[in-house]
Structures are given as C-alpha cells and as structure tokens.
Structure 1
Amino acid sequence: MFNVVKLLELKEKLREEVRGLLSEREARQAENDSHAKRRPRPCGLTIHTSIGCFFQCRYCYIYDMGYPAKASPYPLSGIQVVYALLSNKYFIPSLQGTYLAVGSVSEPFHPLVKERTIEYVQAFYTYLGNPVQFSTKAYINRGDAARIADASRGLISPLVTIVTLNKWSELEPQAPKPELRLETIKNLREAGLKPFLFLRPIIPGVTEREYKEIVDQALEYGAVGVVAGGLRVTKSIIKNLKESGVDIREVLKRVDVPVEKMRNGVQYDVYTGDIKSGIQKYALKKGLLFFPSACMANLYTHGMKCWRMSLYGVEVSGMRKPRVDEVASLLGRLGFKASSVMVGEATIIARGKCVNCDPTFVSEVVLHEFRMCPKLRLSGD
C-alpha cells in the first residue's frame, strides 16, 4: 500500500533537487504557473506544451473556452514544468502516480511546438517516471517517432485521432488528412511504441457510418487498440457542425437540453453509448484492444492494469481487490472519515467527512493505490 508519509517525502526531495537546477526567476515562474495548481482530470493531469490550436476542428470546444486558433511553444522549459508539477499539491510522482495527458487544448506535434513537446516528454521520464500520454492529429515522421520513443524510453502512450475518413476536410479543415495520420500510427508502431486509434469525439450521423472502415485501416497500419470517446457540444459547435454538412438532428436528439435553451459557451454531453458499444464489439472482433477511457490505454502501454480493464477483456490475474476495511483504513490515514465504503467491480464509493484533508488528493491516492475509480461523497455536518 502507499506509504503517504514516504510519498510526500519523495516528492519534496525531488522538488528540492529540481529547484536546484533553476534560477530564482525560473522557479518563481514555475510556481506561479497553472501546472502547479491544476487539479487532475479523469484522464490525468493535463499538460500544455502550447496554448491554442491551428487545426480549427469544427467539433472542438477549446475555441469556446477562449483559446486561439494559433499556437506557440509554452513558455516554461521542461525542467520548469517538472518543478511546477512537484509544486502541485495534487500531483503524485512515480510510475504508480498521477497520469500525465499531453494535448488537451493544443496539438502537441504541430511543427511549431513539437520540440517543446519532446523536451517535456524527456524531462518527465528523466525526473518523474509518471505514465505519460499524448493525443495528436499531426503527421509524425519516422525520425520524430524514434525521438519520441527514445525520450520516453519506449513507454509513452500515443493516441492518434481519426474520427472521419470522408468528411475530414469539412470537419477538420486545417488538420493533416487521415492518410497521414495512419502513417503516424505506422511510424510510432515501428519505433516500438503502442499507438491507439483515438476515435473521439463520436459524432452521431457520421461515426456510425464510418467506424468500421476507420478501425480496419488503423489495424492495417499498426494500431494496437481503440479508445472511443463521446462528444460535447456548445451552441457554436452545433452551428459549426450544421455548416459542415452534418445532419445535426442525429446530434440534437441525443442532448438533454434543446439548442434554443443552451447557454453560450456551456458544454453539453451528447449520448453516444450505443455507438461506442458498436465500436467496442467491432474492435474486439478484429482482435484489437478496446478502452472507453484514455487513461486505460496509458496504463496499458506502461505495463500496468486497473480493475476497469477486466470489464473489457483484459486479464487482471495477480491483482487482488481491496477489502472494505483496507479502503477505510487508507481513507482514515488521509483524513477522510468514512461512514460507509463500497467496493464494486471497478469503483470505490465512500461517503463521509474530510477532516483536514483535500478530497481531490484523497481521490488521487485511492485511485493509484487500488487501481479503482474512486467516488467520494461528502456528507453534511
């Protein structure tokens, strides 16, 4: 089990070591950066190697969030970002620690920023060892694929996004064509990595007509599996999809809120469970891995497993599910006084009170200790 005291001691030791490599100004800049304060998301703690994206995909939500349709390298150096993470109270270092996800609000391998991305990857694997994943629509040539593999010691988890073969020029007007992204899969695989097809977002009216061909081609080019994910829309994304020729009736009937009642800039989930189920069945039929969450692919490529993987055909022999008393004991040591604990197939649900604790940090420790998705529910006083 995690020894929380030793974990925090290791983190502080690493932080002091890395601090010694920075000037006063560089350290202060890193401490004030958002990477030093950001909370982990389900996919991990997001890493920005740039801000904004040139590709202007019509289904993308980052432009509603205020990010520009251009990008430049992130201002921090690789060692500064490492220091920022070690200054983040939610971050857990080591292979068993916090997942790092590169590419959430940018294209990490655009020619203008790829050197910064490779610099960050090198720094993460040199100083931290955490599982790192990137998502991309870029064309990555053989030379760059080899550099990425070398920087990550052959471990990094690549997700290559292809959501349409027939409508990419309308939906992804500035992105490399799918044929080049298939070459990216091939080059990454030949470099010794384990690329996954990233079929996200699932776009009703488009994806269900194309996913079999997309999966077939990804398999042919060397993908080891498929990660499929849903779609979130805003009023402007609905408008963009309509202008791109998508039959938005298929989208709108899967959203709980009528478009006329949507608030500007607010993201709304689109139900895609039935389409995702079809993708899962087809991918497994083809002998590919299938994961519904990106973090599962990240774990897999780093030689680890979680209990949710067992629901998708991955053998988890050698793992032992925690007992309720073990979970309650760990929660108690972290300051979460549980009144009830339930251990399910792949989740842990605990209800109780935080006594001088941070629920986000507690969730991170529970997630990485037991490899089960935690849900902490705070009860009233």
Structure 2
Amino acid sequence: MRIVKTKAKSIYTKSRIPGVDYVINQYVGCQFACKYCYAKFICKWKPYGEWGSWIEVKVNAPELARKYVEGGVVMSSISDPYQPIEAKVKLTRRVLQNMSKRTNLSILTKSPLVTRDVDIFRQFKNIEVGLTVNSFEGKEKKLFEPLTPIQRARINALKLLHEEGIKTYAFISPIIPGITDVEAIVRETKSYADYFFFEVLNLRASGKEFQQILRDNYPESYETMVNDEKFWRFIKQLKEEIKRLNVKTEGIEIHKRGWEFIQLQ
C-alpha cells in the first residue's frame, strides 16, 4: 500500500450531493477498494496507481478542520474515514477533535472502527453516523468487496452506536436486483437505525470492470440494470417494498434524500 502524504489548502469542499453543503475528505483513496466504488474516477487526477493500491493522507487536515462552516457536512465522499490506516494514523479522530462541535456532521463508513470515537461524537450538538450495509456475503462479497469488514461487524457497530445514544442511519447500498436483500437488512437493523438511505447501483459510475463482473456472474441482475423496462419495473417494486416495510415497522423514517438516491441509474 502506497502512502502519499500531502498538505491541503482547504479541507471543506462544496458539495453537489443533494442536501449536503460540504464534504470533508482527510483521506483520498480507500483500502477497502470495493469493485463498484464510484470514487474510482479520482484516479484520473491521482496518478499513484490502481484504486485501492494507494492512500493520500492530508497531514494538515486537523488544523484545517478548525474552520467552522455553516450547513451540513458529510465525511467522506472519496474515501472511508475509518479504513484500516486510520487505526494507526488516527487522522479522522484528530480531525473530529478539532472540528467545531456546532458542525452539522454526518459520517458514513463500512468499518466498526467508528465505535472507537464515541467519546468525541457525544461532544457534537448535531451528528449522525451511518454504516453501509448491503447483505453481500459469500460469493458476492468475494467478488464485489473482498476487503471490507463483514456485514455482522457493521450491524454490531450500528447497534453499539445506537446504544451509546448516537443518532444512526443504515445506508443500504448498492442495491442490486436479485442480490441485495433490502427487506432482510431493514428487519435486522430497524432497532438500531434512526432512518435509512436506499441507493440503487449506478451501473455506469461503477465502471467497466464491475460491469463485467456483474454480467459474467449475475447475468439476470445485469440485464435488469441495462434494460430500461426491467429497471424501472424493479424501481417501482423496490419503492413499494420500502413503503410496505415503513408501514409494518415502527420507528423507521425514510429520509427524503433516500428517495433521490432511489432514482439513480
């Protein structure tokens, strides 16, 4: 793993994500190297090698994080703030320590390491922490995201955060027809998540390599994604399923941004 140490001019970047004002990326690149990751595009401007083979560490991020910005801030959009390097470098922890505790902060990760920083989370007036859950186990995990923490570890982290009084959400992504079991995920996490995001796979953004993996191993899923009629039928059924789950289970809020993510193609 190549570690590239850099200094940034700013740590808060204006965002185009619906409902998000700023994103903060103290790391660029991700050791989890998920095959479908949309952030792979950044390799065009970072000539360090293939996605997952390098990590850019913004060594002055903690100092830059002291600046207070109005609006919602999401950590992170082109990395995972709790990828393996964080256990040693503790860059995310130092950034959080220096951030204004008035910051409206949302954190998203696939790692149970996030539970380490509960003590800092409690200091924020408005914070939420999400775990990405997608039901990929066995063959799917080996093909799609072999280096990520297992699903059980993520769900356990969500549970611990909830028990510690931290606002939580489950980010169900990527939803792939015939593979992602949305209902099972909701039923397993509903007691620990204050709300849910639902993101359907953006096949184009996932890149040619992942498209080939999906086509070769799950041809029916691939066909649904590329056939407009089948795709929109799937979206309709998915929305109906989510609404049905919302009626059956108490305490589940379908976040308004989730519906926009549903529309991705």
TM-score range, shorter chain: 0.7 to 0.9
Q: Is the CA contact 2:31–2:84 (under 8 Å) kept in the aligned structure 1?
A: no
- Matches of 1:205 and 1:117, distance apart in 2: 36
Aligned to 2:17: 41
Find the partner of 1:215 among 186, 211, 217: 186
- Give yes or no for the alignment of 1:162 onto 2:133: yes
Residue in 1 that maps onto 2:197: 227
Aligned to 2:253: 289
Q: After TM superposition, list the pairs within 5 Å mapping 1:268-347 onto structure 2.
A: 272=235, 274-287=237-250, 288-293=252-257
Q: What CA distance in whole angstroms lies between the structure 2 residues aligned with 1:284 and 1:124? A: 38
Deviation, 1:249, is: 0.7
Q: Is the 8 A contact 2:122 2:166 kept in 1?
A: no
CA, structure 1 residues 190+34, in 2 after alignment: closer, same or farther (shift >3 Å)? closer
State the shift of 1:152 in Å.
2.7
Aligned length, in residue pairs: 236
Q: Does 1:74 align with 2:55?
A: no
Please tell me whether the aligned partners of residues 196 and 258 of structure 2 are also in contact (alpha carbons under 8 angstroms). Answer: no
The 1:140–1:281 alpha-carbon spacing in structure 2 relative to 1, beyond 3 Å, is farther
Distance 1:244 1:118 in 2: 39
Q: Secondary structure at the match of 2:30?
A: coil
Where structure 1 has 5 or more consecutive residues not aligned to the other structure, the ranges are 1-28, 87-91, 257-268, 297-381
Residues 23 and 75 of structure 2 are in contact (CA less than 8 Å); yes or no, is this contact kept in structure 1? yes
**Contact 2:66 2:100 (8 Å CA) reproduced:** no
C-alpha spacing 1:43/1:237, structure 2 compared with 1 (3 Å): farther
Equivalent position SS for 1:64: helix
Superposed CA RMSD? 3.1
| Cα separation, 2, equivalents of 1:125 and 1:277 | 40
Pick the structure with more strand per residue.
2
* Residues in 1 aligned to 2:35 and 2:64: alpha-carbon distance in whole angstroms: 33
Distance verdict in 2 for CA 1:275–1:219, change over 3 Å: same
Q: Could you tell me how far 1:58 is from its partner in structure 2?
A: 2.2
CA distance in 2, matches of 1:195, 1:34: 24
- Alignment gaps of 5+ in structure 2: 1-6, 261-265
* Equivalent of residue 122 in structure 2, options 143, 147, 150: 150
Q: Does 1:51 align with 2:28?
A: yes
Distance 1:157 1:244 in 2: 36
Determine if the alignment matches structure 1 residue 121 to structure 2 residue 96: yes
**Segments ≥4 residues shifted beyond 6 Å:** none
Residue aligned with 2:42, SS? coil
Contact 1:40 / 1:46 at 8 angstroms: preserved in 2? no
The equivalences for 1:245-256 within 5 A come to 245=218, 247-254=221-228
In percent, how many aligned pairs have the same letter? Answer: 20
The alignment's TM-score, normalised by the length of structure 2, stands at 0.76
TM-superposed CA distance for 1:134, in Å, is 1.0
Aligned 8 A contact 1:189 1:223 in 2:
yes
TM-score normalised by length of structure 1? 0.55
Q: Secondary structure at the match of 1:53?
A: coil
Counterpart amino acid of residue 149 in structure 1? F
Quick one: which of 144, 158, 161 aligns to 1:188?
161
